């Protein structure tokens, strides 16, 4: 770690760390500031978990991937040059880790190609102001229903759908992070929505922002595990 980065760690006010800029947090994390590491984890946990969960088949696998992503990122902060945001950089690490995990389990699957014979337009998904299912089943039951439906999508469709609907990423952003043609992303979104539409159209009207949550105790435990591993390895 550089001496300049170490000096930056002391410049952060622990009481106001949640208002600190990303650049300040990264500099402090490079100087082995545990508080800054924890804050970066808190900010990125929801997206990384959802992206990983969009690829793998269980919450436990996704948590393992997110943990390994943080370890790789914080041990390799010298490779982060600020050309993109930290969130974008670490999301790409998570995607690569998750895809490698899946390929080890099912090497015959391909995640970078898709049959695009279904067209390229994206169907508009039902608007959230018609959320009859949430009123009928309750938020918890609705989330469970949506998670089951999304988990049933083919992996290559599930990932782009999760990135679009739960993270609010644009087609261009998804294409950039996955290294895909924007038309391929558009096609996969079309196919994912068509896949889900028959089963959910009459019961679910929006609500995808609630699926695959990662906050509260789960978020804190992730930070604890990462900090512990970094400390054990002499990187914090």
Report long-range pairs for 221-229 (Cβ below 8 Å, ≥24 apart): 222/41, 222/45, 222/63, 222/66, 222/67, 222/70, 223/37, 223/38, 223/41, 223/42, 225/67, 226/37, 226/41, 226/67, 226/70, 226/71, 226/74, 227/34, 227/37, 227/38, 229/67, 229/71
Kindly state the average pLDDT of the residues 140-148: 76
The predicted-structure confidence for 168-206, as pLDDT tens digits, reads as follows 889 999 999 888 999 999 999 999 988 888 667 655 555
Neighbouring residues of 183: CB distance < 8 A, sequence distance ≥ 6: 116, 120
d(CA 26, CA 151): 34
Domain boundaries, the chain: 128-210
The predicted-structure confidence for 23-62, as pLDDT tens digits, reads as follows 999 999 999 999 999 999 999 998 999 999 888 888 889 9
Is the pLDDT confidence value at 210 over 90? no
Chain centre distance of CA 39? 16
CATH architecture of the domain 128-210 equals Orthogonal Bundle (1.10)
- pLDDT band for 105, please (50, 70, 90 cuts): confident
């Amino acid at each position: 770690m550089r001496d300049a980065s170490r000096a930056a760690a002391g410049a952060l006010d622990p009481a106001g760390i949640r208002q600190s800029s990303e650049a300040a947090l990264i500099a402090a994390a490079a100087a082995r500031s545990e508080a800054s590491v924890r804050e970066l984890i808190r900010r990125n946990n929801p997206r990384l978990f959802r992206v990983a969960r969009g690829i793998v088949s269980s919450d436990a696998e996704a948590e393992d991937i997110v943990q390994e992503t943080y370890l790789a990122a914080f041990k390799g902060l010298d490779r982060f040059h600020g050309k993109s945001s930290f969130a974008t950089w670490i999301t790409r690490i998570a995607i690569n880790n998750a895809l490698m995990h899946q390929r080890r389990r099912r090497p015959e699957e391909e995640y970078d190609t898709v049959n695009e014979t279904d067209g390229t337009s994206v169907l508009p998904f039902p608007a959230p102001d018609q959320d009859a299912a949430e009123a009928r089943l309750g938020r918890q039951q609705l989330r469970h229903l949506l998670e089951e439906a999304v988990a049933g999508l083919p992996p290559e469709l599930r990932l782009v759908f999760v990135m679009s609907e739960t993270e609010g990423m644009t087609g261009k952003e998804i294409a950039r992070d996955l290294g895909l043609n924007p038309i391929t992303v558009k096609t996969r979104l079309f196919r994912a929505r068509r896949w889900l539409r028959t089963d959910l159209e009459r019961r679910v009207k929006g609500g995808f922002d609630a699926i695959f949550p990662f906050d509260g105790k789960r978020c804190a435990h992730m930070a604890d595990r990462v900090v512990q591993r970094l400390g054990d390895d002499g990187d914090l």
